[in-house]
Chains A and B, each alone.
Chain A
Amino acid sequence: MKGRRILGSPNDSPDNVRKKVILDPQSPTPSHPKSNAIDDISEEIKCPICNEPMINMFQLNQHIDDIHVDGQPNKSIDTETKVSNTSYTSPTINKLINNDFIQKDMKKWFDTTPTKRKTISLDLFDGNKGFSLSGENNNDDSVLSGSEANTPKSTSSPLNKPRIIRSHWKHPSSNPQCKLCQKPLNVKHGIVHCRKCGELTCNDDSNYKVCLRNPHKNETIPQYDKNGIWSKCCRTCYFDKPDLKNQGQINMVDLTDKFKRMRTTNNETSQLNRDKLIKRFIKIINFLSEYYLTKKDSFLSFSLSEDQEIIDKQKQIIGFENWQDDDTINHCYICFTRFNFLVRKHHCRVCGKIVCDDKFEQRQGCSLLVPVPIVLKILSNLNYSKFVLDNWKKLMSNNDITIRMCKNCKNDLTYDFKLKSLENPEDTEESNNLKLIFSVYQQLLVVKNNINHYLPKYESQLLSPELKIDITNKLKDRIMIYLKDFESLIFQFKHKFYLRSGEINPVFSKNFKLINGINQSLILFLQDNLLKFKDLNEKFRNIENSLLPKETIDKPKLTKRQIRELREQLMVMNEQKFIIENMIYDITKQRKFDQLQPLLNNKQELVNEIESLEEKLGEFGF
């Protein structure tokens, strides 16, 4: 247990570590063939274990992976029990097994990084702890190595954390097979007990982790517990995890706000940085143009001393503290290539950092000697001095004046320009088309917003207990007008961008996706809202009807004159009914039965008519 340490508290002296490094033949030599810049951190970083100075976090990361892991085997991954029980004597086998399956899984992730790094990444991937920098020397602690207490988590937890019991583990038979894939279990495929169910599985099928707690009195196997110990388990047990099983209940953390905040702060700082660089750049250009244009008449080539003069001046502009000292820097800050006889050091004239040159484009083009006219062309509307503006033409035609710039500074300086060129594409036919489309769309949006605004109002009016008929009516009319407008606008839209045949006008064929999308969304919107509106109207009518008592409907409907007319009609009908009845009587008497049916039908009609009239008249009937 003596090997346990908390991050940042080295108990191995650097010398010790170095010795180990030397002793360990497997320690891969540090190499950073394709590493990229992640952060540029100006402060010096030291390895917390061996105090070796590092360029940045990235390198430190690799350094720790490469050097310190090997010193403490078993540190990163919870290795398969049997092998780890054999412990320190067989680190090679251990490694072999681990690497075997890890390489299969993770090949695509880190194909260029050394194998040990993968081990750590796997832990990271398991997502539980992050990785710890301290190792665990469990040479003399073979019991512990079997349990999950060995996972990196244990570094931050008490030493005697309870272990998950192992009493339920299945004893391997003579020819053990993986429970899930039926592979024979041996050194090659691994023999792993699932901590949850105790079954034997191969390495591939036990590459999962869940939080477990020890079983209570009446339980036989460990149970899932959020606050438990991270333990290895088989695939079945992993996917049986309650939160995975009921997918709807997965806990979600909304990081949007946090992200937004971080993004704005990041954006602001980078904007500040850009502003700073642009100011410097202006100063430099002012100086350079003045310097060269005034001296050019007398000299065609520049001597070293003059170069020194320029550099001094530039240092002054950038600020001496920003001008990196040649002696302290050994690596290009962008590509981390170590400087040597061929890879020379150069100062970026804008930020003052030391970068490599990439004349032959073998590396990443970290810096370049840029002719000033090219930069000026792009950054034409900066606040240059009067001199520069006066001699603009001269400057633009002079390709001899150059300025060294690193890639980052170039990107920062041209940031606004690029942004602009994205925003305002050149005035081509296409952009005109786009403008046209969007202008029409804008109109539609206004109406759409209106509808979106008034429809919910209308709805809430309908739902509210004290509904005012006149206000609601007004709302209804307004929405009706907007919907009509919207429809006619859609027609206009179609007329503009579509041919009669329904195909897109070939003029706009390039934007057909956009137009189709707009068209579809508009129609959908219209349909949805029309339906909704119709429903609401129905509701409104019902409410209106229920609000008005019956008399109020009937009273205005029946004027005195109407009543008179209806009464007269009723009288006529009754008369006719009487006549027909007489006729029927006569005809039956006369036995003219062929005429009977039409009369009977007619009588029925009359009866119906009389009924409906009486209903209409209501209390005004006879």
Chain B
Amino acid sequence: MSDNNRFAQFKLVLLGESAVGKSSIVHRFVKNTFDNMRESTIGAAFLTQTITLPESNTTIKFEIWDTAGQERYKSLAPMYYRNANAALCVYDITSRSSFNKAQDWIKELKKQAPEGIVICLVGNKLDLENEREVDQQEVIEYVQELNQENDNVILSECSAKNGEGVLDIFNKIGRALPVEEVINGANNRSRQVGSRKPGVNLSRQQNQPQSSNCC
């Protein structure tokens, strides 16, 4: 870890209705693979992936919690978004109900999730453009409305199947995350520990000062 290659860890959680392609996005991102016949997730899966932001020469490691979309596992979600730094609310552009569900998730996040969580609204299955049900313009308006209020909701569309726009999502999130704060916080601690151990602990620390802004 040289100084000119900075490093930060973030916890990211995927939320959304079942079968919108959350796991597919993650797998595309992490392993760059796609499985047509993916089985539905049980509970929550854990994966990690690092990206490098070239402009700031920063390496960001995502600890990705891919939650199951099935109603049965709903009670698990709070445990994962409770101290997450970023949340992906995924919907299927060919399914109206999945978009509604994503909206619900955003609402819930605003209520329950820590202040300053980066929310990204992702429309998946861009490859099925001709079966589109959720109008892009409508989504843009909805996001604009949200952004008027306060925090930023990133809007993105992708296709896990052909990989279009998937990396883009994570890059956008990486830029939106408070990288500097985490790095500074890590620098204050001993560097040795910082590389491996701090992980979640660090990001928690980073969350606290942010939340203290309002309360």
Min distance, Cβ B53 to any Cβ of chain A, angstroms: 19
Surface stretch bound by B, among A6-14, A45-53, A287-295, A570-578: A570-578
Residues of A within 8 A of B142 (CB): none
Given contacts A568-B72, A573-B76, A609-B79, contact A601 B200 (CB under 8 A): yes
Given contacts A602-B46, A605-B79, contact A572 B73 (CB under 8 A): yes
Which one, B75, B76, B79, B199, contacts A598 given CB within 8 A? B199
The CA of A593 and the CA of B48, in the complex, are separated in Å by 12
Contacts of B95-117 to chain A: CB distance below 8 A = none
Residues of A within 8 A of B191 (CB): none
**Interface membership of A595, Cβ < 8 A:** yes
Are the C-beta atoms of B46 and A598 separated by less than 8 Å? yes
Are the C-beta atoms of A572 and B79 separated by less than 8 Å? no
The CA of A410 and the CA of B76, in the complex, are separated in Å by 96
Are the C-beta atoms of B46 and A583 separated by less than 8 Å? yes
Which one, A576, A593, A594, A595, contacts B76 given CB within 8 A? A576
Contacts of A607-621 to chain B: CB distance below 8 A = 609
B43, B72, B199: most-surrounded residue (chain A CB, <10 A): B43
A583, A599, A602, A605: most-surrounded residue (chain B CB, <10 A): A602
Task: Please name the residue on chain B nearest to A606 by beta carbon.
Answer: B79
The CA of A598 and the CA of B199, in the complex, are separated in Å by 7
Residues of A within 8 A of B38 (CB): none
Min distance, Cβ A572 to any Cβ of chain B, angstroms: 6
Are the C-beta atoms of A597 and B199 separated by less than 8 Å? yes
**Interface membership of B42, Cβ < 8 A:** yes
The CA of A576 and the CA of B43, in the complex, are separated in Å by 5
Residues of A within 8 A of B72 (CB): 568, 572
Min distance, Cβ A84 to any Cβ of chain B, angstroms: 87
Q: Scan B180-215; emit 1 where CB is below 8 A from any A CB, else 0.
A: 000000000000000011011000000000000000
Which one, B44, B65, B196, contacts A593 given CB within 8 A? B196
Residues of A within 8 A of B43 (CB): 572, 575-576, 579-580
The CA of A356 and the CA of B28, in the complex, are separated in Å by 124
Are the C-beta atoms of A598 and B196 separated by less than 8 Å? no
Min distance, Cβ B126 to any Cβ of chain A, angstroms: 30
Which one, A569, A593, A599, contacts B75 given CB within 8 A? A569
Task: Please name the residue on chain A nearest to B203 by beta carbon.
Answer: A598
**Interface membership of B63, Cβ < 8 A:** yes
Residues of A within 8 A of B48 (CB): 594-595
Are the C-beta atoms of B196 and A572 separated by less than 8 Å? no
The CA of A384 and the CA of B75, in the complex, are separated in Å by 96
Are the C-beta atoms of B11 and A598 separated by less than 8 Å? yes
Residues of A within 8 A of B76 (CB): 572-573, 576
Given contacts A569-B75, A594-B196, contact A575 B42 (CB under 8 A): yes
Are the C-beta atoms of A595 and B46 separated by less than 8 Å? yes
Task: Please name the residue on chain B nearest to A593 by beta carbon.
Answer: B196
The CA of A575 and the CA of B72, in the complex, are separated in Å by 12
The CA of A74 and the CA of B183, in the complex, are separated in Å by 104
Residues of A within 8 A of B79 (CB): 602, 605-606, 609
The CA of A605 and the CA of B48, in the complex, are separated in Å by 19
The CA of A501 and the CA of B79, in the complex, are separated in Å by 49
Residues of A within 8 A of B63 (CB): 595, 598
Min distance, Cβ A585 to any Cβ of chain B, angstroms: 13
Min distance, Cβ A571 to any Cβ of chain B, angstroms: 9
The CA of A609 and the CA of B77, in the complex, are separated in Å by 12
Task: Please name the residue on chain B nearest to A584 by beta carbon.
Answer: B46
Task: Please name the residue on chain B nearest to A597 by beta carbon.
Answer: B199
A576, A605, A609: most-surrounded residue (chain B CB, <10 A): A576
Are the C-beta atoms of A579 and B200 separated by less than 8 Å? no
Min distance, Cβ A396 to any Cβ of chain B, angstroms: 80
Residues of B within 8 A of A583 (CB): 46
Contacts of B60-97 to chain A: CB distance below 8 A = 61, 63, 65, 72-73, 75-76, 79-80
Are the C-beta atoms of B46 and A597 separated by less than 8 Å? no
Task: Please name the residue on chain A nearest to B198 by beta carbon.
Answer: A597
The CA of A601 and the CA of B44, in the complex, are separated in Å by 14
Task: Please name the residue on chain A nearest to B82 by beta carbon.
Answer: A605
Are the C-beta atoms of A579 and B197 separated by less than 8 Å? no
Q: Scan A488-528; emit 1 where CB is below 8 A from any B CB, else 0.
A: 00000000000000000000000000000000000000000
Task: Please name the residue on chain B nearest to A578 by beta carbon.
Answer: B43
Residues of A within 8 A of B196 (CB): 593-594, 597
Q: Scan B2-43; emit 1 where CB is below 8 A from any A CB, else 0.
A: 000000000100000000000000000000000000000011
A575, A579, A597, A598: most-surrounded residue (chain B CB, <10 A): A598
Min distance, Cβ A448 to any Cβ of chain B, angstroms: 37
Residues of A within 8 A of B200 (CB): 597-598, 601
Min distance, Cβ A596 to any Cβ of chain B, angstroms: 9
Min distance, Cβ B196 to any Cβ of chain A, angstroms: 6
Residues of B within 8 A of A609 (CB): 79
The CA of A568 and the CA of B149, in the complex, are separated in Å by 37
Task: Please name the residue on chain A nearest to B70 by beta carbon.
Answer: A572
Min distance, Cβ A43 to any Cβ of chain B, angstroms: 88
Min distance, Cβ B7 to any Cβ of chain A, angstroms: 11
Residues of B within 8 A of A605 (CB): 79
Min distance, Cβ A603 to any Cβ of chain B, angstroms: 11
Given contacts A572-B76, A576-B76, A609-B79, contact A599 B199 (CB under 8 A): no
The CA of A273 and the CA of B76, in the complex, are separated in Å by 94
Are the C-beta atoms of A599 and B42 separated by less than 8 Å? no
The CA of A607 and the CA of B191, in the complex, are separated in Å by 31
Residues of A within 8 A of B42 (CB): 575, 579
Task: Please name the residue on chain A nearest to B50 by beta carbon.
Answer: A594
Given contacts A605-B79, A609-B79, contact A597 B197 (CB under 8 A): yes
Task: Please name the residue on chain B nearest to A577 by beta carbon.
Answer: B43
Contacts of A534-574 to chain B: CB distance below 8 A = 568-569, 572-573
Residues of B within 8 A of A579 (CB): 42-44
The CA of A579 and the CA of B80, in the complex, are separated in Å by 15
The CA of A572 and the CA of B79, in the complex, are separated in Å by 12
Residues of B within 8 A of A599 (CB): 46
Residues of B within 8 A of A598 (CB): 11, 46, 63, 199-200
Residues of A within 8 A of B46 (CB): 580, 583, 595, 598-599, 602
Contacts of A454-503 to chain B: CB distance below 8 A = none
The CA of A597 and the CA of B42, in the complex, are separated in Å by 21
Task: Give 9 A-B pairs besides A583-B46, A598-B200 with Cβ atoms closer than 8 angstroms.
Answer: A572-B43, A594-B48, A594-B61, A595-B63, A598-B46, A598-B199, A601-B200, A605-B79, A606-B79
Top 7 nearest A-B pairs (CB, nearest first) are A576-B43, A569-B75, A597-B199, A579-B43, A598-B63, A601-B200, A598-B200
21 A–B pairs (Cβ distance < 8 Å), ordered by A: A568-B72, A572-B72, A572-B75, A573-B75, A575-B42, A576-B43, A579-B42, A579-B44, A580-B43, A580-B46, A593-B196, A594-B48, A597-B196, A597-B200, A598-B11, A598-B46, A598-B63, A601-B199, A601-B200, A602-B65, A605-B79
